[in-house]
Amino acid sequence: MNLRALWLNGNPLAKNPDLAQYIASKTRIEIFNSEFTRNCTEWGLKYASCRDLKTAAVTENGKIFRLNLDNRNIFNIDPSLFEKFTNLRSLSLKGHLPSN
């Protein structure tokens, strides 16, 4: 399966902890219900940031200048992913609170 993003928000199934565990361990899904999974890659960061055309900051050659990762559960992603964004000028990380 090549599915990389899945939104079930508003569906009772979305609250099932077994489903979240399955997605994290048995699939390649990078974004689940608007939050990053441990499977997140460069694609997930770009997709989450640039799916809103008003805030997208991608040049003609695909370089990213601005990432908006607000409220995306960034605690699940590998910080080394940011090394690939050598042209990054702006990064928004609003709305992230660590879990207790």
- Per-residue pLDDT tens digits of the chain, which is 100 residues long: 689 999 998 899 888 889 988 988 899 999 888 888 889 888 888 787 665 544 545 555 667 778 888 888 787 788 888 888 888 888 888 886 655 4
- Strand 35-36 and strand 31-32: pairing? antiparallel
Residue 88's nearest CA partner among 44, 35, 49 is 49
Residue 41's nearest CA partner among 83, 7, 70 is 83
Q: Which distant-in-sequence residues (6+ apart) come within 8 Å of 71 by Cβ?
A: 34, 35, 94, 95, 96
